[in-house]
Structure formats: C-alpha cells, structure tokens
Structure 1
C-alpha cells in the first residue's frame, strides 16, 4: 500500500508540471510581427567584460537590424583581453557603434548591473535594448520585440534566445530554464498582475523605455544582484509596472557556457537569488524530484506491485513530457530528455550546494570578481 501511495503522490506532482506546461506553451510561444509603417530608434546596450571572442559577432548582428534605427553602445567593463580593440575597430567602420570605457566597480555593485546603468546614461534613444555580449540577434528581432511591447503594453519585455549547447552538461542543465519557467510560472496570472511574486525574465535580452526604466529605479535598484533575469522584472513590478517574457527562439541565439565547469559555476553564482533560497528550495525540490525522479524509484523498487508500477509508469511518462515539449519547441538536444531525471538531480543538487555555500559565506567568482 505504501508504494501505491508514493506512486500516486508522484503522479500528482507530475500532473502539476505537465498541466502548467501545457497551458503555458501557447502563451510563451507567441506570434510576432512588426509594424513596417512605424519608425523607431533604439539604443542597443551591451555590457562586455573579456568578450574578445564574440563581441564582433554580437555588434554586427545588432547593426544588421531591419526596419529600425539603431545605435549600439558597448561598455568595456574593465576587460583584460582585446575587447576594447575589437570594438574600436567597429567604431571606425560604422558610426552607429559607440565604445565606452567603464568606470571602476563601486562597492556593493555587481559588474554587469554597473555597466548596464552606465550604458543607460549614454543612450541617445528612449527605447533601450539591454543585451548580453554573447547574444546574436536576427535582423527582424528588435522590430518584432518593439511591436509586441507596444501592442501588449509591457513596460519591461524579455525574450529567451535560442540556447545553444555543446557539452553534455550544457544539454542537461541549460534547458532546465525552460522547464522551470513553463512548469511552475502561471503565465496568465503573470500577465494580469504586477505582483512581484510573478517576476520572471531572461537577463540575456531586455527591452524597455527609458522613462519606465527610470521609474523602476534603473539598475541601481538591483545593484548588488547577479540575477537580473528575476531581479529587474521584480524591480519593475515593485514600482507597479508590468513585465512580460516570451520565447525568442527565432529572434536570437546565445551560448552561455562552453564547458561543464562554466555550467556549474554559472548555476551556482546566482542560484540563491532564485530557487536556492530558504523559502523556495524545499518546495521546488519536492516538485522537481517528486515529479521527475520519484516515479522511476517507485518503478524500480515496486516492480512486482502492479498497481504501484502502473501508476508510477504514468507519472514517469507525464514527468518527462514537458522536457519532450522543450526539446521539440526550442530545438534542444534529445539527450536532455533521455537523461531528464539525472538533469533534475544535478540541477537540484546545485541549488542545495549554492545555498550551503551562502550559509558558510562562500561566494563563487565570475569573470574574475566575487
């Protein structure tokens, strides 16, 4: 009887994930068009620290934007490589590119937030696009994002670029961002409310107006944060402003990390501002492990208990279904689906490790900074 009870619990937890994902997918993957008659000027703002390898591609992709007037400003955040040289060469070729040397990092500021704040002061246009240096825009991306933002009156809009992955741990862990978002954020309620509880976004690509940005407190409001994907939307919502997040698979692409070490450090550096908090880590651990791992445990441990085995089998199928939808809709590797349960265990384990590190005062360095 105990195994059947556990199997039923696993089934309920898997149904929560699959039900939310089913409801959220059509709200997240939206039809994007652009108003060809509208004339909009946009400042693309790129913070860059040691981005020599990719900054040229990022800037040139932004310059290729269609149906929009762009200026691209790159803030060199105390780089130690050839980032400045690469950007200055682009300035010589295209007058729409501007190079700025970042000021030394003040106390209690995160490097990216400080660079973004400085960039906002240099922007010539009211419409701001904050973009990571490893993002590559499609030519129609900004025009479509601006049209969507104006149509839906989102004061802060973010889009998830197509997440490129190479190594096995990237394929396991990176798509978990889609899984968490779609399975556990009620997107309908998020769009109907400005409650900070529904704050969510993708820090790789934000679109806003300068007036709204200033009303939300600018990046000064999240000066010490490493997780602008959550913290910047929360700052807007705390100011009573709406935020939205949509799929940007066909708008841009990004490869965040290049190896397993970067994946682990990247997951640890900002986890305590997300799931790895004392308030969220236990319920999310139960939801994730209960819906994706527990069914397999029941199946292997109660194989001779037919009712429990059948219920657990259904739970296992349902628990993996959202990951299958993630693979299909966002062009992610099938290996993530095959090893989904292992991915969940690694992901949850990293959250607990991040929380333990925060308790003992260990802070993961990123880009040479604490």
Structure 2
C-alpha cells in the first residue's frame, strides 16, 4: 500500500509540474488589439434563454475595434420569448439580425444544427460562436480575432472565466480549466492532428471561415454532444490547427445555477467526454488514485500522501488564480471535487444506457 501511495503522489507532483509549464505556455489574447480588418460574423444560437440572453446581446453590440461586425441570432424554437428579449435589447441596431431556426432533422442534435444554419447565413471571413450565458468584455472579439490571425491558427477558443457561486458550482466548475491545463500538452496539441489532443469551449470560439467550411463545419459533427471539441477535431482532420487559449480577461460565463442545474448539465455530456464506458472507468480510476488515495493516506500519517495532496492543492490553486476562480478554501476540497466528478460521470453513463438523456426538451443520447 505504501508503494501505491508513493506512486500516486509522484504522479500528482508530476502533473502539477506540467500544469506550471502549461500556464507559462498558455496563449493569451492581446489586451489592446488593433482594429480588425476582417469582416466578422458573431453567431449566437439561443433556445429558451430569455432569462439571461440580454446581457450577452448587449455585450456583443458593445464590441470595440470591429468595424465590419454582424451579429446573427438564431432562435431555435424558444417558447419563452427569447427572440423578443434579443430584439428589445438590440434596440433596432442594424448590425444584429434575428432568424428563426428550423427543427433539427434526423441524425442532428439541436445545437450543431443551429450553428450550421448560422454559419450558412454568415458573410464574415471569421466566424465567432458565442453562447447565450456568456458576457464579453468590450475588446473580446477584436482580441480573439487578433490571436487567430497573429498565430496563423485556424481555430482558437479563449476559455471564459467560469463564474461559480453555489457550493456545488464551486466544487465542480473549476475542474473544467484544471483538467486541460493539467493533462493537455498545449504546444503539442497545437501542432498535432491527433484527435485526443484537443480541447475547446463553444462558449467563445473563433474559426477562419474557409477552414470551417473545408472541415465540413457543424455538419461534420452533427451528432456530437460536445460539438466544440468535435469541431476542433474536424478542423485538425482537414489539415488545420487550433488550440484553447486564456479567455479569462475576455469573457465570463455562469453555466449552471445550483446543484440540480449542474447535475443535469453534466449528466448530459460526461458520457460523451469520456468516450466509452471502459475509458470512463479507467479515467476515474486514475483520478481516484492520483487525487483521492494520497489525502486518505495522509490522514493516516503518510508523508508521501501529504506530499501528493499538497501537490494537488497547489495545482488547483495555481489554475484558480490564473483563471479568475476562487482559490481558498476551494482548492483544499480537490479530492471531494474529483469524487463528485466521478459520481456525475457514473450518473451520465447510467442515464445514457437507459436512454434517459435530454436537454431543453430534446433527446441527446
């Protein structure tokens, strides 16, 4: 048992060291970008978002440094007056257009179909996809396009600051950034065509319009729950390059409001994120070994276990400080966060196998 604890703690130390390296290599969009030369289409799919779409739309229309900007909003069968809120917030701004979406045909999930319709209407040479729960800083679009063009990449995904207010959100949401900053070799991921080396977030994602169409766009990922990561993989398959970046200063997003909302949201997607049931079991087993076994051993007086727990807390704290999250005391609860993720993943697979997964009134699995 002591050998297992030492091995687990060594793994936690190594991964925290990798986190430190990634934080140094993480691409950061410019804080003072030059005016954008490209025509830019900002694409916003919405479905029953009346309670939160207003701040998102207001922020989109307040973008600076984008002389040729269009904002296309696709109302995907909302039943709560979302389109009315969008129009009222826009106040007749000619840069914004609301269009009604068609129901997804067989074989399509709702969001990829909405994004596909938006891309078909867009005239920009850069497409910027945004979610309705995101609020952009005034320079966000210009900075994102500047990063895309200055790096020669085909897709960039500046990861927004994740707002977590309730205890459940504070426990689980920080794992989003922590996971890829800890495990994904960022510079290799930029260059490699391997689908396993991909991380992206559709909350804010910019793609060159030609590369998007060359990859097949959302039609190529029509049945994918995690369409953002799938789109990056499609771009890679077509010979393009893309990467996740630091969007902390560009955007904020509160994905879920409390435990029930978070539980259902993660249950919808975690089965897809883990790929297969054996892969999910292996991933959760590895996480448990690295981040639960050492603190349990530390409670029994193991110095190696204490070192492993300290390394895990340090990695979590470094990511939180960099990404605008709450550092203390939340980082101390990292083993509990990992256990919560394991329960959510198991629930996601259980519902998947029973055919009980749905989101906003539509089946997703």
TM bracket, shorter-chain basis: over 0.9
SS in 2 for 1:250: strand
Q: Cα RMSD over matched residues?
A: 1.6
Range with greater deviation from structure 2 (360-369 or 152-161): 360-369
After TM superposition, the structure 1 = structure 2 runs for residues 15-30 of structure 1, keeping only pairs within 5 Å, are 15-28=13-26, 30=28
CA distance in 1, matches of 2:224, 2:338: 25
**C-alpha deviation, 1:362, in angstroms:** 2.6
Alignment CA distance shift 1:275-1:335 (3 Å): farther
8 Å CA contact 2:172–2:341 kept in 1: the answer is: yes
Answer yes or no: is 1:315 the counterpart of 2:294.
no
1:107-146 superposed Cα distances (whole Å, 9 cap, x missing partner): 2211111110000111121211011011111111111111
2:270 matched residue in structure 1: 271
**C-alpha deviation, 1:165, in angstroms:** 1.2
Answer yes or no: is 1:76 the counterpart of 2:75.
yes
2:292 matched residue in structure 1: 293
**C-alpha deviation, 1:353, in angstroms:** 2.4
Alignment CA distance shift 1:91-1:314 (3 Å): closer
SS in 2 for 1:108: coil
SS in 2 for 1:251: strand
**Runs of 5+ in structure 1 lacking a partner?**
304-308
CA distance in 2, matches of 1:159, 1:255: 15
1:216 matched residue in structure 2: 215
8 Å CA contact 1:17–1:291 kept in 2: the answer is: no
**C-alpha deviation, 1:197, in angstroms:** 2.0
Q: With the length of structure 2 as denominator, give the TM-score of the two structures.
A: 0.94
CA distance in 1, matches of 2:202, 2:278: 22
Answer yes or no: is 1:346 the counterpart of 2:340.
yes
After TM superposition, the structure 1 = structure 2 runs for residues 127-276 of structure 1, keeping only pairs within 5 Å, are 127-275=126-274
2:330 matched residue in structure 1: 336
CA distance in 2, matches of 1:131, 1:210: 15
Range with greater deviation from structure 2 (266-275 or 243-252): 266-275
CA distance in 1, matches of 2:218, 2:285: 33
Range with greater deviation from structure 2 (243-252 or 14-23): 14-23
Range with greater deviation from structure 2 (272-281 or 90-99): 272-281
8 Å CA contact 2:35–2:66 kept in 1: the answer is: no
**Runs of 5+ in structure 2 lacking a partner?**
none
Alignment CA distance shift 1:54-1:247 (3 Å): same
